[in-house]
C-alpha cells in the first residue's frame, strides 16, 4: 500500500480541512498516510472525526455540504510531529533553510527518506516548490521543475505548464516544460500523442514576446524531429477551446492565465447570483436554475482536479490550492495516486 | 463639429458593420465622419442604408437585433478613396511602409493632416498601432505608446495598460504606462485620484518576474513623490475586484489578461446554454432565465466599451475589436468622442 505524506499545517483552513480531506482520500483511494505537523492539533482534529464518525464537506459545489463517513479503524495513518509552519507571506528561500522542522520540509523528507511515495501540500506554493526541489532533487537532465495544472475546458481538460514555479524562463526551459507536459498529459488525460502549443499573443509564427519568438523555432524543430506534436501559438482566448492538449508558458504568464480564469469565473457567477436576486421573479427562476448552474460549477471547479503537479523533481509532489476544502484535498490525494503507479518520473527522464 | 476618420476596410465584418456603426455613432454623438477605404464598397453599403433607412444590429446582447434608424441627410460624411487594405496576418512594419494607400494609413493621415480629430480602426491591432505611431508621432517625452483597455468588473470598470502594444517592456516603460493610465482613468472613469497596481503573481512586494521586481520600487518612489497613488501588486484573480483603478502590465501579460477573460466568459456562457438545453425542464427554465443572463452579458460585454485607446501618440487613435459589430463600432466612435474634448494628450504630456 502506497503511503502519502501530508503537510497537515499548510492551507488557509489547515489543519481541519487538510486532515479531513486526507483521511477521505485515504478511504477513497486505499492509501496510507503520514500526517506531518503539530501532533496535538492533528490529534484534536482526528478526535473530532472519531467522535462523530463523519466529516462535513461540499463535493464540488460550494455551500452544499454532505456527510462523508470516515472509518478511522480502516485507515493506516501515522503522525510525524514537527513544530514549525511556513506562512503564506514568508520569504521562501530563507524559511526553507531556517525552518528545518516545518511541516512542509518534514513532509517532503518523508518522501526523500523513502517512507512515503508522494507529498501533498496546500501551503505556500513557493515553499512547497522549494522544499520539494531541495528535498527531492531534480530528475537527471531537468533544468528547472515546473508546475503542471489541469484546466477544465468545453471538452477534455488541458494541461498548462508552467503554472507559476518559474517567473523568468529561458527558451530551453520552455522546451523542457513541453516535454514534461506531454509525458504528464499522456498519463493524466490518457491522450496518446498530445498536441503542444505555446501561449502567445497573436496566432501566427513570429508573434509574441522575445521569449516566445525564441522558443517557437526550438519547438518547431522538436516537432520535425518527431519529439513532440507542436501546433503553434495559442492565444489567451484559445486556452479553453482545445486547440492544444498541452499549453507551454513561462510561470509568470501561466500563473496569470490560472488566476484570471479563476477571477473571471468567480465574477460571472457572482453577477448571475446578484442578477437573479434583483427581484422576486428572479429569485424564483434562480431557485429553479440552481441545479443547472451547480452542474456547471462542478465542471469548472478547480477543486475537482485537487492539485497541481510539480514536474521535474525526483518524487511526486502535489501542490494543492491554498483555499483547499476537504473535497479539494481528497482530490489532491487522488491526483498523487493517479500518477504514482504510472512511473511519471521515469517517463519524464526518458523524454528529456 | 468634430470629424472622425474611420478605417472602413478594417475588421472581420468590414466594410458593412464598420460603416453601419460609424454612421450610428455619428448620429448618436453628433460628429462628422471621413470614411476611408474603397469608394465603391463604401458607397454600396451606404446605398443599402439609404434604401431601407435603418440598420439591423444587436445592442450589447448577441442574437437580439434591433432596427436602428439612420437619417443619412443629417449626417456630415465624406469618403476618401484608397485602394489597399492591410490584412490580419500581414507583417506590420513592412505593410505600413509599403501600403501607403491602405485604409488604415490614409485614415491616420486624415488626423495628421488636421482634417479629423480622431481615427477609429477595427483592423489589425498591430497595423493600427504602427500606422498611428508613424503617422501621428509620439507625445513629447513618451518612450512607447500603449493600449489602454477598459474592463468590466463587479463595480466600476478598471483601466488595464498595456493591452498588447508592447510585447517586451522595460521598467521605465511601465512607469510611463502608469502615468498615462492615470490620466486616462481620470477622464474616462471620472476618478479624481485613481489607484495604480502592477499585474503580478503573488501579492507581496518582491513577488513577480524580473520586470515587475524592477518596476515595483520605481512605482513606489513615484507614489512617495505624490505622482501616483500606487497600491502594489495585483494578482490575476484580483483584476475584477477593484483593488486598483489602473492596472499596469507589459503588453504580453496584459493581452493575455484580456484574451483569457474573454475566453473564460465565453466558455462559461456556452456551458450555461448547453446545460439548460440538456432536458425539457432546462429549456423551460433557461427561457425564463434569459432576460437575467442577457443583462449580465450586457454588463461584461467588451462591445459596450467599443474600443481601446492608443495612449502616447499625438492624436486620438481608437483600436476597436476585430470582430466589431455595428454596436461595438458605434461605441468605439463614442470612446473617441469622450476623450476628444477633454484634451487627454495635453494631460499626458503634463504628467510625463
B255/A236 touch (CB, cutoff 8 Å), yes or no: yes
Q: Is B236 on the interface with A (CB under 8 A)?
A: yes
Of B164, B236, B271, the CB nearest to A263: B236
- CB contacts, 8 Å: B259 with chain A: 201, 235-238
- The set of residues, in sequence order, having a beta carbon less than 8 Å from that of B129 and lying 6+ positions away, is B92, B145, B147, B165, B310, B317, B319
- CB contacts, 8 Å: B205 with chain A: none
Of A251, A264, A299, the CB nearest to B261: A264
pTM, two decimals, is 0.91
- Please tell me the predicted confidence (pLDDT) of residue A63: 66
Identify which of A307, A312, A300 has the alpha carbon closest to the alpha carbon of residue A336: A307
Q: Is A162 on the interface with B (CB under 8 A)?
A: no
DSSP class of residue B33?
A: E
Of B153, B208, B255, the CB nearest to A201: B255
Identify which of A62, A252, A330 has the alpha carbon closest to the alpha carbon of residue B253: A252
Task: Output Rg (C-alpha) for chain A, integer angstroms.
Answer: 21
- Please tell me the predicted confidence (pLDDT) of residue A62: 66
B164/A201 touch (CB, cutoff 8 Å), yes or no: yes
C-alpha cell of A16? 481541519
Q: pLDDT tens digits, residue range A32-52?
A: 999 999 999 999 999 999 999
Higher pLDDT, B275 or B350: B350
Please tell me whether the peptide bond between A127 and the residue prior to it is cis, using omega within 30 degrees of 0: no
- Taking CB atoms and an 8 Å cut-off, how many pairs form between chains A and B? 172
Which site among A268, A284, A295 would you substitute to test the B interface, given the most B Cβ atoms closer than 10 Å to its Cβ? A268
Chain B residue closest to A210 (CA)? B168
Q: Is B256 on the interface with A (CB under 8 A)?
A: yes
Residues 295..324 of B with a Cβ closer than 8 Å to A: which?
295-296, 299-300
Chain B residue closest to A126 (CA)? B202
Q: If pLDDT is split at 50, 70 and 90, which confidence band does B352 have?
A: confident
B264/A240 touch (CB, cutoff 8 Å), yes or no: yes
- Please tell me the predicted confidence (pLDDT) of residue A106: 97
- Please tell me the predicted confidence (pLDDT) of residue B287: 83
- Please tell me the predicted confidence (pLDDT) of residue A285: 82
pLDDT digits (tens), chain A, 352 positions: 899 999 999 999 999 999 999 999 999 999 999 999 999 999 999 999 999 999 999 887 766 789 999 999 999 999 999 999 998 778 777 888 888 899 999 999 999 999 999 999 999 888 999 999 999 999 999 999 999 999 988 888 999 999 999 999 999 999 999 999 999 999 888 999 999 999 999 888 888 999 999 999 999 999 999 999 999 999 999 999 989 999 999 999 999 999 999 899 888 888 888 888 888 888 888 888 888 787 777 777 777 777 899 999 999 999 998 889 999 999 999 999 988 888 899 999 998 8
Q: Concatenated DSSP letters for A104-139?
A: HHHHHHHHHTTS-SEEEE-S-HHHHHHHHHHHH-BP
Of A204, A253, A300, the CB nearest to B252: A253
B237/A260 touch (CB, cutoff 8 Å), yes or no: yes
Q: Is A208 on the interface with B (CB under 8 A)?
A: yes
Amino acid at each position: 500500500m502506497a503511503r502519502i505524506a501530508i503537510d497537515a499545517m499548510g492551507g488557509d483552513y489547515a489543519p481541519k480541512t487538510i486532515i479531513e480531506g486526507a483521511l477521505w482520500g485515504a478511504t477513497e483511494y486505499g492509501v496510507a498516510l503520514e500526517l506531518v505537523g503539530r501532533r496535538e492539533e492533528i490529534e484534536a482534529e482526528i478526535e473530532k472525526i472519531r467522535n462523530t464518525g463523519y466529516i462535513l464537506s461540499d463535493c464540488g459545489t460550494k455551500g452544499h455540504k454532505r456527510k462523508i463517513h470516515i472509518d478511522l479503524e480502516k485507515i493506516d495513518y501515522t503522525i510525524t510531529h514537527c513544530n514549525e509552519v511556513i506562512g503564506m507571506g514568508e520569504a521562501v528561500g530563507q524559511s526553507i533553510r531556517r525552518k528545518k522542522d516545518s511541516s512542509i520540509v518534514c513532509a517532503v523528507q518523508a518522501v526523500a527518506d523513502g517512507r512515503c511515495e508522494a507529498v501533498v501540500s496546500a501551503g505556500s506554493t513557493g515553499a512547497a516548490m522549494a522544499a520539494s526541489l531541495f528535498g527531492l532533487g531534480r530528475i537527471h537532465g531537468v533544468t528547472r521543475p515546473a508546475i503542471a495544472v489541469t484546466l477544465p475546458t468545453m471538452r477534455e481538460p488541458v494541461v498548462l505548464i508552467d503554472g507559476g514555479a518559474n517567473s523568468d524562463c529561458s527558451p530551453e526551459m520552455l522546451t523542457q516544460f513541453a516535454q514534461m507536459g506531454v509525458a504528464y498529459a499522456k498519463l493524466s488525460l490518457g491522450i496518446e500523442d498530445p498536441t503542444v502549443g505555446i501561449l502567445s499573443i497573436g496566432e501566427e509564427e513570429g508573434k509574441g514576446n522575445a521569449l516566445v519568438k525564441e522558443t517557437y523555432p526550438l519547438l518547431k524543430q522538436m516537432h520535425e524531429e518527431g519529439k513532440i506534436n507542436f501546433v503553434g501559438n495559442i492565444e489567451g482566448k484559445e486556452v479553453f477551446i482545445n486547440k492544444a492538449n498541452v499549453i507551454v508558458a513561462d510561470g509568470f504568464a501561466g500563473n496569470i492565465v490560472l488566476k484570471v480564469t479563476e477571477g473571471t469565473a468567480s465574477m460571472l457567477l457572482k453577477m448571475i447570483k446578484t442578477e437573479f436576486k434583483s427581484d422576486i421573479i428572479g429569485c424564483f427562476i434562480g431557485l429553479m436554475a440552481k441545479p443547472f448552474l451547480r452542474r456547471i460549477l462542478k465542471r469548472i471547479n478547480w477543486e475537482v482536479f485537487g492539485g497541481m503537479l510539480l514536474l521535474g523533481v525526483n518524487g511526486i509532489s502535489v501542490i494543492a490550492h491554498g483555499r483547499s476544502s476537504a473535497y479539494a484535498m481528497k482530490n489532491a490525494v487522488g491526483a498523487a495516486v493517479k500518477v504514482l503507479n504510472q512511473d511519471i518520473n521515469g517517463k519524464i527522464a526518458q523524454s528529456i
